[in-house]
A and B are shown apart, each in its own frame.
Chain A
């Protein structure tokens, strides 16, 4: 307890250093602009700016990234609520009720509610984070390669189980990502492999090229196809009265708020899955537990509070496995992990001991970034909505230009620029055919470590794969991975099984003259135990 407070104040000391504070503020502004632009989300934005960011000192660069991260979340919600154009995928759920509110002329109240709930949930989760980080990191120090291999399998399994799409398609995405990192010179034996006879591929395919291509160019192509246009703008200006009103109404939704925050944090902590699934789960649960679920979708503030607080919690939660284990909790966390590696810092339990100023400065700066982005977003909304007026035909060449330079900085050859374009087209095709991109990015970041921890374990065990099953921690992680992987297969069956008793309970309750809401609530209870 005392240790956690000490850590946080130490971090605050780093974060309020004038240069870092400036980096944080710039990050929030850039992030908000990125969030408002539909073709760019925090993952793409962080990837595009990496070439600039990794030339700053690590602590300052990370603070910039955390500002960008927070700013993008808020920025995405602004366009989602006012124009029904989610600036980022994670703010799509906020439009379900936010946009109807804006149409009814309550846009200011929706925006105030969204910013406040994201801020409060973020604060709660940063405190949770501070308490968990040190114990987990200290525990992880006792791990060896087999445990790391198992926890990475857990990350891939969590992606397959929670992404919401087809398990097979997610697996394809993970496998391709792992194969891509295998291209080039084998790290253990020094042998070249899968190079298709090309000398350009000997250097391997780097993470930055894949991310900039798939998220930068790929998303751009998708936006070009869908022809995103700014629809009729809704005027909104948030005043202090709206904030007070929203806050007063939100007090009534404290149950929804706590549920969303905890579920969001848990989904964020699960490796690989980020704020997008969390926001949908948060919205879904709020609707499931609501007294009158039919008001959802027609412009209820509760329907904005639930996804916003879940998304914001997940974003903070996803940094917990990143800092403590070196496993990214979300695609954006994967980009931050890539940045750490470019700085020559190995994320994981040792980072916290060797470079406490970086870890705690980063965490404290998230807090400052949350405050800054709330202020910026509540009072500068008219300014942000102007950004949407930038014509798409100006965005295209600008983003392409930035993507090329971004990919190029990886190893300074024209070949990498071509790779950026190729991965852009592949990313577009992935989206088109319904293959999720996030698992591939996570696999590309973790690929080298997955293989080397696998092979180092075999060296430890003199070639026997039994090492993964005989070490207790590794075994537990593997079983958890198996459970998560099978979850999408088993859960429909479980739902069917669960519906029967629930229905009979409802009939019994109705017969007894009692309100049926209790029966429904207990019937739905077990479903929330798992990573629903």
Chain B
């Protein structure tokens, strides 16, 4: 984590330096603020790195496998939904996502799964597309009736 912070800080500072982190005509340039924030962040990252290296490191990141597995499940399905959204649009993707999650991860009964995976997206569209006029993302390939 500390290394990641330092890397992020360095990348920010380098880019800020490129747009001008010095004083232009007696004023701070556009990169001045991000540049010094990046420097400070790298400094904090370095302190944390030193502290963590000194502390005895016997802790495991996840207490047990079930924790890791459920986090991966939630993240992977959520990412998968966005890929499907890119392909066939948000409406169809959310129906598929809810269906897959409820049935295969939640292991709920069929009637409940079907009812929820239709009701939640339909309420969502009605509220956002009709009432609030937010056009939800369309996909590359649109399905009839769903797109």
Please name 16 pairs of A and B residues whose Cβ atoms are closer than 8 Å in the assembled complex, sorted by A.
Answer: A172-B45, A186-B30, A189-B30, A193-B16, A196-B11, A227-B70, A396-B106, A398-B98, A401-B121, A404-B90, A405-B134, A408-B136, A421-B75, A433-B1, A458-B28, A463-B28
- A168-B44, A454-B33 known; A418-B82 Cβ under 8 A: yes
User: What 1/0 flags go to A427-448 for Cβ under 8 Å of B?
Assistant: 0110011010000000000000
Q: Is A237 part of the contact surface with B, judged by Cβ < 8 Å?
A: no
Most buried by A among B37, B41, B101, B105: B37
* Alpha-carbon distance between A186 and B127 when the two chains are bound, in angstroms: 35
Is the beta-carbon distance between A463 and B26 smaller than 8 angstroms?
yes
| CB < 8 Å neighbour of A172 from B5, B90, B107 | B5
Which residues of chain B are near A408, meaning CB under 8 Å? 134, 136-137
Query: A residues bordering B, Cβ < 8 Å?
Result: 51-52, 55, 168-169, 171-172, 175-176, 178-179, 182, 186, 188-189, 191-196, 217, 220-221, 224-227, 391, 393-394, 396-398, 400-401, 404-405, 408-409, 412-414, 417-418, 421, 424-425, 428-429, 432-433, 435, 451, 454-455, 458-459, 462-463
- A172-B5, A182-B33 known; A196-B120 Cβ under 8 A: no
Which residues of chain B are near A196, meaning CB under 8 Å? 11, 15
| CB < 8 Å neighbour of A425 from B26, B75, B105, B128 | B75
B47-77 interface with A by 8 A CB criterion: 47-48, 51, 61-62, 66-68, 70-71, 73-75, 77
Query: B residues bordering A, Cβ < 8 Å?
Result: 1, 5, 8-9, 11-12, 15-16, 19-20, 23, 26-31, 33-34, 37-38, 40-41, 44-45, 47-48, 51, 61-62, 66-68, 70-71, 73-75, 77-79, 81-82, 85-86, 90, 94, 97-98, 101-102, 105-108, 116, 120-121, 124, 127-128, 132, 134-137
Is the beta-carbon distance between B38 and A224 smaller than 8 angstroms?
no
Is the beta-carbon distance between A394 and B27 smaller than 8 angstroms?
no
| CB < 8 Å neighbour of B41 from A179, A391, A412 | A179
Which residues of chain B are near A194, meaning CB under 8 Å? 12, 15-16, 34
Q: A413-B137, A459-B27 are in contact. List 12 more A-B contacts (CB 8 A).
A: A51-B128, A52-B132, A179-B41, A227-B66, A393-B107, A400-B74, A401-B124, A408-B134, A412-B135, A421-B78, A424-B78, A455-B28
Report B80 CB to chain A, min CB distance, Å: 11
Which residues of chain B are near A189, meaning CB under 8 Å? 29-30
* Alpha-carbon distance between A394 and B117 when the two chains are bound, in angstroms: 10
Which residues of chain A are near B37, meaning CB under 8 Å? 175, 178-179, 182
Report B13 CB to chain A, min CB distance, Å: 9
Is the beta-carbon distance between B19 and A175 smaller than 8 angstroms?
no
Which residues of chain A are near B40, meaning CB under 8 Å? 171, 175
| CB < 8 Å neighbour of B70 from A175, A225, A421, A429 | A225
Report B17 CB to chain A, min CB distance, Å: 10
Is the beta-carbon distance between B34 and A221 smaller than 8 angstroms?
no
Is the beta-carbon distance between B67 and A226 smaller than 8 angstroms?
yes
Which residues of chain A are near B19, meaning CB under 8 Å? 186, 191-193
Residue of A nearest to B85 (CB): A414
Is the beta-carbon distance between B41 and A188 smaller than 8 angstroms?
no
Which residues of chain B are near A191, meaning CB under 8 Å? 19-20, 30
Most buried by A among B5, B28, B78, B79: B78
Which residues of chain A are near B101, meaning CB under 8 Å? 393, 396-397
Residue of A nearest to B33 (CB): A451
User: Interface SS of chain A: helix, strand, loop or mixed?
Assistant: helix
* Alpha-carbon distance between A168 and B40 when the two chains are bound, in angstroms: 10
- A391-B108, A397-B97, A401-B98 known; A175-B41 Cβ under 8 A: yes
- A401-B97, A405-B128, A455-B28 known; A414-B82 Cβ under 8 A: yes
* Alpha-carbon distance between A52 and B131 when the two chains are bound, in angstroms: 10
Is the beta-carbon distance between B71 and A394 smaller than 8 angstroms?
no
Which residues of chain A are near B12, meaning CB under 8 Å? 179, 182, 194
Report A444 CB to chain B, min CB distance, Å: 13
Is the beta-carbon distance between B34 and A227 smaller than 8 angstroms?
no
* Alpha-carbon distance between A417 and B81 when the two chains are bound, in angstroms: 10
- A401-B98, A458-B27, A463-B23 known; A417-B82 Cβ under 8 A: yes
Most buried by B among A52, A189, A193: A193
* Alpha-carbon distance between A195 and B136 when the two chains are bound, in angstroms: 26
* Alpha-carbon distance between A6 and B22 when the two chains are bound, in angstroms: 52
Is the beta-carbon distance between A432 and B61 smaller than 8 angstroms?
yes
Is the beta-carbon distance between A51 and B26 smaller than 8 angstroms?
no
Most buried by A among B16, B27, B29, B33: B33
* Alpha-carbon distance between A169 and B12 when the two chains are bound, in angstroms: 19
Which residues of chain B are near A394, meaning CB under 8 Å? 102, 106, 108, 116
Which residues of chain B are near A463, meaning CB under 8 Å? 23, 26-28
Is the beta-carbon distance between A168 and B47 smaller than 8 angstroms?
yes
Is the beta-carbon distance between A169 and B82 smaller than 8 angstroms?
no
Which residues of chain A are near B85, meaning CB under 8 Å? 414, 417
Which residues of chain B are near A176, meaning CB under 8 Å? 5, 8, 41
| CB < 8 Å neighbour of B34 from A193, A404, A433 | A193
Most buried by B among A217, A226, A393: A393
Is the beta-carbon distance between A412 and B134 smaller than 8 angstroms?
yes
Report B8 CB to chain A, min CB distance, Å: 8
Is the beta-carbon distance between A193 and B30 smaller than 8 angstroms?
yes
* Alpha-carbon distance between A459 and B81 when the two chains are bound, in angstroms: 48
Residue of B nearest to A398 (CB): B120
Report B26 CB to chain A, min CB distance, Å: 4
| CB < 8 Å neighbour of B44 from A175, A195, A418, A455 | A175
Is the beta-carbon distance between B30 and A221 smaller than 8 angstroms?
no
